[in-house]
Amino acid sequence: MLIWARPVEEVTNVHAKLRPGSPDDAVECGRICYEAFATLAAAHSFPCDFPSADVATGLVAMMLSDPGFYGVVAEIDGQVVGSNFLDERNAVAGVGPITVDSNVQDSTVGRQLMRAVMDRAAERQAPGVRLVQTAYHNRSLALYAKLGFEIREPLACMQGPPVGATVDGYAVRPATGADLDDCNRVCRAVHGHDRAGEVRDALDQGTGLVVEHEGRVSGYSTGLAFFAHSVGETVEDIKALIGAAEQLAGPGILVPSRDYALFRWCLEHRLRVVQVMTLMSAGMYHEPAGSYLPSILY
Ligand SMILES: CC(C)(COP(=O)(O)OP(=O)(O)OC[C@H]1O[C@@H](n2cnc3c(N)ncnc32)[C@H](O)[C@@H]1OP(=O)(O)O)[C@@H](O)C(=O)NCCC(=O)NCCS
């Protein structure tokens, strides 16, 4: 029976102990993360966001050891039952992945883990907090909305073979350290804030791309991937970046489907919709004045 249809006395509320995560939590949090997403996806006949438990554990291990992320772990009777993360690399914070052990879901642990990262963001005076929600999951949609997150954008997660297209007048090249200020300028013009911390990471990892139009940087990408974002002054910038990518890494790229010119172009270039997701925000949000691909973290 649906949770909201159950008599109140049947709804169990548990009090979990919350504490900051450490690298020692990676294996258990990674297992829970993989199982929670795999169980959810299987129940709705969707592919899992993580191809294996090892990939989920690798991601969680990275987030638990990188000072750019805050991790919080929930325990009941000394046993880890869930975790959540806050991406603190930029002024605007990003939430997730949040996962709760399938055995104790729907009993307020998720709410407690969400509150923990929202409190943390407030303490750090982040002007806004964002996340990307799995659209087919009624529970997370309801939970986030109850906590004050507003729906901002429907996203089509799209995957397919390399597009291999060019856009006349838009030249794509690898980003270098000298492009940081230009990338931040483009992001501020489109979103009203920059994502300098993520851009720096992409430059260090060598995944960044910039697109130039009429002799200046008009867009950039930290990678055409689920965990990376792209920003362009116009839709042509984003088309050029997608067209130049050697692959679309992970489950796919997140295409705002209200950006119809971009969405249709992706469909025309043989990309397929894997699932629909939802960008949500609490606090500061500016309607983007340009074109963009959010990452799974926002
Ligand atoms: C999403 C997830 C983290 C939430 O944690 P949880 O412990 O199950 O959730 P909670 O019990 O704390 O909160 C669920 C809330 O949604 C409400 N809810 C659940 N289903 C609902 C529905 N269909 N309609 C309206 N409200 C609903 C519950 O009443 C509760 O609200 P309340 O706290 O005001 O009573 C957890 O279910 C999970 O790990 N899911 C799999 C992975 C996942 O989807 N991660 C998030 C990806 S966006």
pLDDT for position 120: 98
Closest ligand 1 atom, residue 131 Cα: 48
Which residue CA neighbors atom 2 of ligand 1 most closely?
A: 110
Q: How far apart are the C-alpha atoms of 210 and 228, rounded to whole Å?
A: 14
284 C-alpha vs ligand 1 centroid, how far in Å? 24
What DSSP designation does 270 have? T
pLDDT per residue as tens digits for the range 76-124: 999 999 999 999 999 999 999 999 999 999 999 999 999 999 999 999 9
pLDDT at res. 7:
38
Query: What are the backbone angles phi and psi of residue 159, rounded to the nearest 5°?
Result: -140, 160
C-alpha distances in Å from residue 255, one per residue of 16, 132, 143, 157, 264:
36, 12, 24, 6, 10
DSSP H or E run through 280: strand 272-283
Per residue in 219-256, pLDDT (tens digit) is: 999 999 999 999 999 999 999 999 999 999 999 999 99
| Residue 121 to residue 101: CA distance in whole angstroms | 24
Burial 205-236 (b: 16+ CB within 10 A, else e): eebbbbbbbeeebbbbbbbbbbbbbbbbbbbb
DSSP 38: H
**pTM score of the predicted model:** 0.94
Helix H or strand E encompassing 129: strand 128-134
- 188 Cα to the center of ligand 1, angstroms: 33
143: CA distance to ligand 1 center in Å? 5
CA of 220 to the centre of ligand 1 (A): 35
Spell out the per-residue pLDDT of the chain, length 298, in tens.
Answer: 333 233 334 446 788 999 999 999 999 999 999 999 999 999 999 999 999 999 999 999 999 999 999 999 999 999 999 999 999 999 999 999 999 999 999 999 999 999 999 999 999 999 999 999 999 999 999 999 999 999 999 999 999 999 999 999 999 999 999 999 999 999 999 999 999 999 999 999 999 999 999 999 999 999 999 999 999 999 999 999 999 999 999 999 999 999 999 999 999 999 999 999 999 999 999 999 999 999 999 9
Q: Where are the alpha helices (DSSP H) in the chain?
A: 26-43, 53-65, 109-123, 138-146, 180-191, 196-205, 235-244, 260-268
By alpha-carbon position, which residue is closest to atom 31 of ligand 1?
Answer: 143
142 Cα to the center of ligand 1, angstroms: 7
**What's the pLDDT at 15?**
86
pLDDT at residue number 5:
33
Q: What is the pLDDT of residue 29?
A: 98
Alpha-carbon distance 19 to 58, whole Å? Answer: 21
CA distance 6 to 52: 34
Q: Which numbered atom of ligand 1 lies nearest the CA of 112?
A: 12
Q: Is 158 helix (H, G, I), strand (E, B) or coil?
A: strand
> How confident is the model at residue 8, as a pLDDT?
37
Cα–Cα distance measured from residue 220 to residue 138, given in angstroms and rounded to the nearest whole number? 34
**Which of ligand 1's atoms lies nearest the C-alpha of 37?**
42
Ligand 1 contacts (CB < 6 A) are 2-4, 36-37, 40, 98-100, 105-111, 133-134, 137-140, 142-143, 146
Decide if 96 contacts 89 (C-beta within 8 A): no
- Residue having the nearest C-alpha atom to atom 10 of ligand 1: 108
> How far is residue 244 from each of residues 162, 224, 263, 282, measured CA to CA in Å?
8, 9, 17, 33
What's the pLDDT at 203?
97
User: Residue 203: which residues within 8 A CB-CB, separation 6 or more?
Assistant: 175, 176, 177, 179, 180
Instruction: Give the closest residue to 94 by CA, choosing from 189, 195, 192, 204.
Output: 195
In this predicted structure, what is the pLDDT of residue 13? 75
